[in-house]
Every structure is written in structure tokens, then in C-alpha cells.
Amino acid sequence: MSTYDNSSWDRSPADAASSRPAEGELSPANAIRVAVEVEALRSGGLASLGAGPYVLEIGFGRGELLLAAAAEDPQRTFVGLEISRKRVRKMARRVERAELSNVRLLHAPAQYVLERALPAKCLEECWIHCPDPWPKRRHHGRRLIQARTAELLARVLEPGGRLYLSTDDPAYAEWIDGVFSRQPAFANLFAPHRWSWEAPARPRTGYEEDWIADGRAIAYFAYARRDAGEPHVASQPAREHP
């Protein structure tokens, strides 16, 4: 059974029903060139995204990290995935302005793309930074990180591929660790610790900048997709935040 929730997913083309762009903005017709319809990906395969290797960011938000990484590494294709069509359209314009040819955008639920659109073992890396923690217990089923999501991530990452996650919510950090500690397909790169409080050497997202300025601590996770037969090593409690 599929686990994605498509109740709020507008499947119409990403350039449909567009409003007139403000002065100085690119037209939707130009901006949409970097956006790929998810059904085209399903039917046409990875060729619709351009040449690999591929890095997927699930929930790119304001897009700072995706843009910076694509500019620094033109040899890889960076794929941004969002459920919000408005964010996809806005990001498409930013990509066009930056003249980046190695960015593609998808508008769809994450689980749908992981389960039905991407082929197995196609990603070199996947990033999920500060997803919605849905803090109320009755909403925990809406959290992106679930056992099924971990299975799907294992499906699309190549052996040795990297998965990077982060959260500013302590309860969600425990949840993420619980999910991936029970998923034998992933090796914790911070083992024997469960996660790290130290920011990685990459550009920060806009939300990270806001929350760090607010005094929040951010937990960072890093996993490698195991080869078949590689042993599963248990992790220990995370290091205390200084």
C-alpha cells in the first residue's frame, strides 16, 4: 500500500493558471523550463532530469542550499522536490536568473516520487533539512520521516550513497534516530553517536540561519546506504550540545 498523502496535491501542470509576473521577473514560460512534470519522470526516466550523478533535496524551502550547491558543483544535477507548487514556481525563476543548467524541480509528494517516479539506486545523495516536526501526538502520522519513507530512501540511493537530515526539534531528533536505527539498509556516519550538534561544512539554509540566530540547537544526521551483507552497528546517545 502506498503511504503518500495526495489529498492536497494539485496535479495540474506547474505553469497552469499562473499570475502575471511582477516587473523584472521572468515569465512563467521561461521559468518553467527547469521544472519537470513528475509523470514525465515516471514515463521517461532519468533522461528528463539531465545527466547524473543526481542529488535530491526533499523540501527545498527557500532554496538557498540548492542554489549554492548547484553553483559550486556543476558536474552534478541537483533535483529539488516540493509539495508546494508556489515554491516550485518561485524557485524556478531564481534558477533561471542564476543561469544554472544543473537544477531540476519536481512538484509532488515526497513518498510518491520515491516510490513511483525515481528508479532504484539512482541517487548519489539525498537531503532532508528541518522537515515539519508535527509536534502534536495525533499528527505524528503526518511526519515525513516514517519507517516506509526510510525503506523508499534505501530503494533510490545507490550503494554507498549519502542521506543527510537535520531538525531543530528535539523530539523529532529522537524520532528520526528511532526510525533509522531500525533500518538496516543505513549506516550511521556519526556512530557510535546518534547524531551531531556540529553544523556540517555546507551553506546553511535560510531556516537554519533564522533558528540559529534564535538560539535553537540543530541536530544533524548522516547515513550511508549499506551494501548487501554489510553489518548493522548500533549507535549510542548523541553528544551533549555545548
214 is catalytic: no
Domain span at residue 185 reads: 28-225
| Cell output for 224 | 550511508
Residue corresponding to grid cell 536568473: 97
Residue 37, classed as helix, strand or coil, is coil
Tens digit of pLDDT for each residue in 223-242? 999 986 555 545 455 444 43
Asked if the bond preceding 184 is cis, omega within 30° of 0, the reply is no
Rg (CA), the chain: 18
Kindly state whether residue 169 falls inside one of the protein's structural domains: yes
Catalytic option among 132, 168, 214, 227: 132
Kindly state whether residue 231 falls inside one of the protein's structural domains: no
Kindly state whether residue 17 falls inside one of the protein's structural domains: no
Question: CA nearest 121: which of 57, 168, 185, 180?
Answer: 185
Kindly state whether residue 56 falls inside one of the protein's structural domains: yes
Kindly state whether residue 63 falls inside one of the protein's structural domains: yes
DSSP type of residue 65: H
Kindly state whether residue 23 falls inside one of the protein's structural domains: no
Tens digit of pLDDT for each residue in 55-109? 999 999 889 999 999 999 999 999 999 998 899 999 999 999 999 999 999 999 9
* C-alpha–C-alpha distance, residues 166 and 104, integer Å: 22
- Pairing outcome for strands 157-167 and 103-107: unpaired
CATH, residue 116: 3.40.50.150
- 134, 146 Cβ separation under 8 angstroms: no
* Number of structural domains found in the chain: 1
* Torsion (CA) 86, 87, 90, 93 in degrees, nearest 10: -120
Kindly state whether residue 166 falls inside one of the protein's structural domains: yes
Kindly state whether residue 104 falls inside one of the protein's structural domains: yes
Q: How confident is the model at residue 33 (pLDDT cuts 50, 70, 90)?
A: low
Task: State mean pLDDT over 51-55.
Answer: 92
Q: How confident is the model at residue 50 (pLDDT cuts 50, 70, 90)?
A: confident
Chain-centroid distance of CA 230 in Å reads 25
Chain-centroid distance of CA 10 in Å reads 20
Q: Is the whole model's pTM more than 0.85, yes or no?
A: no
Host H or E run for residue 112: helix 110-112
* C-alpha–C-alpha distance, residues 227 and 160, integer Å: 7
